[in-house]
Amino acid sequence: TLVLTIYFLASLPAIKEVIYTLAPASRRARSRYLADEIFRGVSGYITGMFMIVAVASGCSFIFMNIIGLGAYSLALSFIVALFCFIPLVGSSLAMLAVALVGFATSPTIGVATIIYFLIYQQFDAYILYPTVMKRTVKVPGALVVLSALIGGILLGVIGALIAIPTTAALLLLYREVVQPHLDAS
């Protein structure tokens, strides 16, 4: 997978050029611009996800060192990071994983872990995630939450993963194609 990913990234400009030639020559420049903007939105989403995951794993690492799970904090922070890539349910799965270790250590630590993650989930869902996605993908915060919920409901985890880049692409197409056409009419 790693080799294929590196090969794909290295040949991405050539792949994009082949895709651009599928558009009629008279509209190729406009198609190239729209496709580049969509690619920029997707890369912004990926950058935003890495920022959100870094904050989640960093905060949980600090919390675990404070609460008394310092011996497991690095491994558990890595697990939190992996789970946080999954929108909507990832932070709950991370909470369960860390809480199991917390309860195995002490019931007090387990309860404190659940309380921490419940508070962090609220911060993540309503402040951090919409703010980061608004800046990196340029999708309004309310649409970030709404599109992630709708994508998750309709298509599960995959839907939640593709919801925000899809929303960004649809907003771009609306602003650049539909709105000018409506204004001209």
pLDDT at residue 66, rounded to an integer: 96
| Residue 141 in this model has a pLDDT that exceeds 80 | no
Tokens of 87: 């929108």
* pTM of structure: 0.79
Question: Nearest 5°: phi and psi at 21?
Answer: -70, -15
**CB contact at 8 A, 166 and 185:** no
CA 91 from chain center: how many Å? 12
pLDDT at residue 86, rounded to an integer: 82
pLDDT at residue 165, rounded to an integer: 87
DSSP run (H or E) holding 158? helix 141-173
CA 4 from chain center: how many Å? 22
pLDDT at residue 122, rounded to an integer: 92
pLDDT at residue 9, rounded to an integer: 79
Q: What is the mean pLDDT of residues 30-58?
A: 89
**Mean of pLDDT over the chain:** 89
Q: How far is CA 19 from CA 22, 67, 149, 161, in A?
A: 5, 53, 31, 24
Question: Nearest 5°: phi and psi at 69?
Answer: -110, 30
CA angle 158, 159, 165 (to 5 degrees): 105
Which DSSP string do the residues of 88-134 spell out, in sequence order? TTHHHHHHHHHHHHHHHH-HHHHHHHHHHHHHHHHHIIIIIHHHHHH
